[in-house]
Amino acid sequence: MLHVTFYRDGQGRCSGLSARGHTSFAEHGEDIVCAAVSAVLQAAALGLAEHAGAELESRQAPGELELHLKAAERDRESVRAIVATAELAVAEIARRFPDHVRLRRSRSRVAGGRRPERVTKPASRRRAHDV
């Protein structure tokens, strides 16, 4: 099961997200559900960094992704739009594939409880095969 959590701060703004696990919908390389969630979250990370110019921290490993938005970035319209779109897309995938993707919304300051590393340019990150 792939668990995706969108975190909110005390003001209800998205403070980050985490994705952990695998959908197990199909074999590695054939898993369209995992690919869909991965594409949505990778596109959101790229959009936040490159289009919105948001300063964010991230941590990525096979089967794991964490993003943390700095407090100063959370009120920006472009940041809110990108995060809301990603959340809507993941919610729809989770609705269609409830045995494979679980979406949670949680109040927490740091995604996943661990501090991700700072990333300024997406190209500097090593790409993993999924989430």
Residue 96 lies in a domain: yes
pLDDT, average across residues 94-105: 97
128 occurs within a structural domain: no
Any domain includes 13: yes
Residue whose token pair is 């949680």: 106
Given pLDDT bands bounded at 50, 70 and 90, which one contains residue 131? Answer: low
Tens digits of per-residue pLDDT, 63-95? Answer: 899 999 999 999 999 999 999 999 999 999 999
DSSP conformation class of 81: H
Average pLDDT over the chain reads 86
User: Which phi and psi (to 5°) does residue 42 adopt?
Assistant: -65, -40
Q: Kindly report which listed range (58-62, 100-104, 120-124) carries the lowest average pLDDT score.
A: 120-124
Tally the C-alpha atoms within 13 A of residue 90's C-alpha that lie toward its C-beta: 30
Region 23-38 average pLDDT: 94
Give the structural domain span for 60.
Answer: 2-119
* Domain of residue 15, CATH code: 3.30.70.1490
Look at residue 127 and tell me if it is in a domain. Answer: no
Contact in structure between 40 and 92 (CB atoms under 8 Å): no
Residue 43, domain member (yes or no): yes
The predicted model gives 87-104 an average pLDDT of 97
Asked whether residue 126 is domain-assigned, the answer is no
Specify if 124 maps to a domain. Answer: no
When divided into structural domains, the chain yields a total of 1
